[in-house]
Amino acid sequence: MLEKVKIIFNGKEYQSIRDCYNDNKDMAVVSPETFRSRVLNGISIERALTSPTHTIPQTILGSHIVEGVEYPNLPSIARAYGIKEMTMYRRHHRGLRGDDLVPLKKRKNYVPPEPKPSARQVEINGVTYKSLSEAFRVLGINKYTYYSRFTKGYTFEQCLGLEPFADGRTTRAKTFEYKGEKLTFRDIWEKFGLYSSTFLNRLERGLSMEEALTRKSRTKHKPKKSKG
């Protein structure tokens, strides 16, 4: 079975090597198998069809296998990967062989690496936040308290009030009772998608707990789900 490769020849587009061969077989001097092999090795369509067998030279440097395909010479590799022939010869002269003849990002099997997470991103109790500022808003943490503890050499968790200090003290997360359940700022964020500042502002304006939690915000925030 001939491979599906999009080909443009004489102003016409073909969806496979077979289609191209069949449409131009009146000018072909080689078999479909030879034509296929030549096309996959980077030989131009016209030469692949019209050059008699054994007339396409390998050059003194011999053939080369790149990504499992054998190419008769360096120029055929350059054509197959869209690289200048002189660049290909330079890479060969530097001692590069096989797949290394083609730059990594130009190889057909190249898979881009996963994007690196933002340097500002932080993870707290299994939840990832875009930045410390976002974590402060969601968890209801006073940033001045955090930085005051940070300058005193406390650990990250202690600065956030998640771990006890040397004397056993620990900051307790403020809780709010709703329908028999005690909710922290983090709970409110995860269940209702509310920043602590928005929630507290509503309570200060005289809204009931129900209204403060369930009133729709003009700006929608998606709650973060804990991992695991």
Distances (CA, A) of 186 to 54, 57, 97, 125, 157: 74, 71, 56, 10, 15
11 and 102 co-located in one domain: yes
Does 16 lie in the same domain as 97?
yes
Domain that residue 207 falls in = 122-214
Q: Looking at residue 193, what is its pLDDT? A: 84
pLDDT tens across 26-61, in order? 888 888 888 887 887 778 888 888 887 656 655 657
Would you say 185 and 200 are in contact if contact means Cβ atoms under 8 Å apart? no
Question: CA–CA separation, 150 vs 157, rounded Å?
Answer: 10
Residue 20 or residue 1, greater confidence = 20
Instruction: Answer whether residue 112 is part of any domain.
Output: no
| Residue with the two structure tokens 């191209």 | 20
Quick one: pLDDT at residue 6?
77
Which distant-in-sequence residues (6+ apart) come within 8 Å of 154 by Cβ?
165
Give the pLDDT of residue 99: 93
Two tokens at 4?
């599906």
Cα separation, 89 vs 148, in Å, equals 62
**Do 95 and 151 share a structural domain?**
no
Domain boundary among 106, 139, 168: 106
Q: Are residues 55 and 92 in the same domain?
A: yes
Q: Output the pTM of the full model.
A: 0.33
Residue 191 pLDDT class (50, 70, 90 cuts): confident
Look at residue 224 and tell me if it is in a domain: no
Do the Cβ atoms of 173 and 184 come closer than 8 Å?
yes
pLDDT in tens, 114-146: 777 666 777 777 778 888 888 888 877 888 888
Our count of domains for the chain comes to 2
Q: What is the mean pLDDT of residues 86-110?
A: 90
| Residue 221 in domain | no
Residue 228 pLDDT level (bands cut at 50, 70, 90): very low
Look-up: residue for tokens 């054509």? Answer: 79
Last residue of a domain, one of 106, 132, 152: 106
Indicate the residue among 106, 130, 156 that finishes a domain.
106
Claim to verify: residue 96 and residue 144 sit in the same structural domain: no
Does residue 171 share a domain with residue 133?
Answer: yes
Same domain, 101 and 147: no
